[in-house]
Every structure is written in structure tokens, then in C-alpha cells.
């Protein structure tokens, strides 16, 4: 399926090319968000091997132990697959890629109060999309800001090479990799409302704040895509899907792995 309807203005496309990211307001309707909320509330009460493995104990002190991220929910949940292939998202991606997109990954972050953030990193270090690049579609399920663990981006680093990460601060980040921004470039906050989608290039350096609130989750539904002309992707992301749900069988690119490598469970609970 090819999307002919252009959703973005030329100015938006140029901003994405220059800055490496773009927010599209309200791309998910309130009804869509309600469905996603209920779906992942149901999942949060389960144990799904290889996808969602919470510690359901009442005395857990690390919030991310009780609410870890859900990995690849589209592989076991029809609603997650439906929204991975959400037509408005695919139309935006077609504008950004100037070709169709292939769907590669879903994740859901609960980001409960008190939980650590994610150190600055680059997504295509993990996805290994070649030729071309991955693009993330990061959907705010709750309003996201500096207080409850919203996103950070380093503008214009989409033109920066993929670099070998350093070791992150385990007290602040639940993942172990950290990419230092180029000299004189700083991470800036991205404030989002419920249903907004942040699109960003796979080379863009980005991360998130710690959730410093006592009563606000910062839930997010996150998908990654590859350009249809790509021939390789990291094996963890195969198979990929076209807009009509059919499978696109790209070659396995060596290395790569899940988007953000978590610290071992030795972090004190």
C-alpha cells in the first residue's frame, strides 16, 4: 500500500531534516489513546515471558521492577499491531522517508513515579537499518514534561555519526549506554500532550528525564520503522511489516539488539 495523501507541510519536512525531530500534535485521537491505555493496563497485570516480566510483589522499591517496559507487544497483542500500523503515523513516515515505511518494533513504557530515565543514546546503533535509517514514532499516552520523565533531544545530531556509547549512570538511567553530545550542543526538553507523536531520526541523540513526581505516570507507546528501500536490519527486529500487514523479509544485519540495553537486575530494589 502506498500513501498518496501528504500529511506534512514542506516546512515540517524541512524542520525534521534540519533538526532531526518533529512533533505532530494529536495524531492519536482521545479514543485511540483510551484503547491503548486499557490494553496496557490489562497487560500490566500479566507475566508474558520474553515481553513483559514484572515483579508483582507489593514490596518492590524499584518502580521499574514492577512496571518494566513491554517489548514487542505487537507479537502477542492485536491492538499493539493495529497501532503499529496506524495509518496517520504511516502517512507522516511516507512524507519523511519520501517512500513507504516498514514497521519494525513496538514498546510500551509505563514510567511510573520515581522511576529512572534513559541515558542519551542513538536508536540506529541498535536497529542497524541499512541503507537508510530508522525513524521512531514516540506517542505520549500521558502529558510528558521535565517533571514526570519527558523526552530530551539534542537538536541537529541527526547529522552526527553513530558512535560507540560510554557507560551510563546506573542511579539515573535504567539502560547502560550513554552517548555524549557533541561539544557546545545540549539536550533540550520535549513537552508533549496526550496523543502527540514525536518523530525522530535514528542518529538523533535523545533520552529521558527521571520521573520526579509522586503521582504521575509517563506512559508512552513507541514504534520504530525502516524505509522500504532498506535491505538490512538487526535480527531482533525481524520480521517487519508493510502497511497492509504483510511481512517484509529484510536480511539480518549483525550486532544490534533491543533498543537500549538494560542494566543487570543487580540494581538495588
Q: What digits encode the pLDDT tens for the residues 27-69?
A: 999 999 999 999 999 999 999 999 999 998 766 678 999 999 9
Q: Which domain holds residue 134?
A: 10-253
Q: Is 74 exposed, middle or buried (0-12, 13-18, 19+ CB in 10 A)?
A: buried
Contact 124/136 with Cβ under 8 angstroms?
no
Give CA–CA dist 186/180, Å, rounded: 10
**87: enclosing H helix or E strand:** helix 87-97
| Cα-to-chain-centroid distance, residue 27 | 16
Chain mean pLDDT for the chain = 92
Following CA atoms 42, 44, 46, 51 in sequence, which dihedral angle do they give, to the nearest 10 degrees? 110
Res 263: pLDDT:
45
What are the tens digits of pLDDT across the range 105-115?
999 999 999 99
Spell out a b/e string for 215-238, using b for 16 or more CB atoms within 10 Å of the CB, else e: ebbbbbbbbbbbbbebebbbebbb
Over residues 226-248, mean pLDDT: 97
Three-class secondary structure of residue 92 per DSSP: helix
Number of domains in the chain: 1
Res 56: pLDDT:
84
What are the grid coordinates assigned to 42, written together?
490489562
Whether 105 is in a domain gets the answer yes
What are the grid coordinates assigned to 86, written together?
496506524
Res 6: pLDDT:
66
Whether 143 is in a domain gets the answer yes
Calculate ∠ Cα 16-21-25, nearest 5°.
95
Res 48: pLDDT:
97
Res 37: pLDDT:
98
Over residues 244-265, mean pLDDT: 76
Percent of the chain with pLDDT over 70: 91
Whether 5 is in a domain gets the answer no
Res 171: pLDDT:
77
Contact 163/217 with Cβ under 8 angstroms?
no
Res 268: pLDDT:
27
Is residue 83's pLDDT more than 70?
A: yes
- 167 — pLDDT class (breaks 50, 70, 90): confident
Give CA–CA dist 88/68, Å, rounded: 28
Contact 230/100 with Cβ under 8 angstroms?
no
CATH of the domain at 214: 2.60.120.620
Whether 91 is in a domain gets the answer yes
Res 259: pLDDT:
59
- The more confidently predicted of residues 227 and 166 is 227
Whether 264 is in a domain gets the answer no
Whether 269 is in a domain gets the answer no
Q: Which of 185, 189, 221, 235 is nearest to 79 (CA)?
A: 221
Whether 162 is in a domain gets the answer yes
Amino acid at each position: 500500500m502506498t500513501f498518496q495523501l501528504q500529511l506534512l507541510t514542506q516546512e515540517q519536512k524541512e524542520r525534521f531534516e534540519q533538526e532531526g525531530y518533529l512533533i505532530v500534535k494529536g495524531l492519536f485521537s482521545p479514543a485511540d489513546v483510551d484503547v491503548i491505555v486499557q490494553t496496557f493496563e490489562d497487560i500490566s497485570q500479566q507475566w508474558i515471558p520474553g515481553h513483559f516480566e514484572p515483579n508483582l510483589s507489593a514490596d518492590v522499591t524499584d518502580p521499574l521492577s514492577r512496571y518494566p517496559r513491554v517489548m514487542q507487544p505487537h507479537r502477542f497483542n492485536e491492538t499493539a499491531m493495529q497501532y503499529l500500523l496506524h495509518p496517520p503515523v504511516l502517512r507522516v513516515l511516507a512524507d519523511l522517508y519520501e517512500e513507504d515505511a516498514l514497521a519494525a518494533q513496538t514498546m510500551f513504557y509505563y514510567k511510573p513515579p520515581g522511576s529512572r530515565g534513559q541515558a542519551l543514546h542513538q536508536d540506529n546503533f541498535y536497529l542497524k537499518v541499512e541503507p537508510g535509517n530508522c525513524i521512531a514514532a514516540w506517542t505520549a499516552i500521558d502529558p510528558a514534561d521535565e517533571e514526570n520523565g519527558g523526552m530530551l533531544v539534542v537538536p541537529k545530531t541527526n547529522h552526527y555519526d553513530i558512535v560507540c556509547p560510554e557507560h551510563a549512570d546506573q542511579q539515573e538511567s535504567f539502560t547502560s549506554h550513554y552517548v555524549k553530545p557533541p561539544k557546545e550542543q545540549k539536550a533540550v526538553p520535549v513537552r508533549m500532550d496526550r496523543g502527540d507523536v514525536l518523530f525522530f531520526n535514528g542518529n538523533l541523540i535523545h533520552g529521558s528525564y527521571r520521573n520526579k513526581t509522586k503521582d504521575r505516570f509517563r506512559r508512552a507507546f513507541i514504534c520504530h520503522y525502516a524505509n522500504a528501500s532498506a535491505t538490512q536490519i538487526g535480527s531482533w527486529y525481524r520480521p517487519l511489516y508493510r502497511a497492509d500487514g504483510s511481512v517484509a523479509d529484510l536480511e539480518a544485519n549483525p550486532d544490534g539488539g533491543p533498543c537500549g540495553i538494560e542494566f543487570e537486575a543487580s540494581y538495588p530494589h
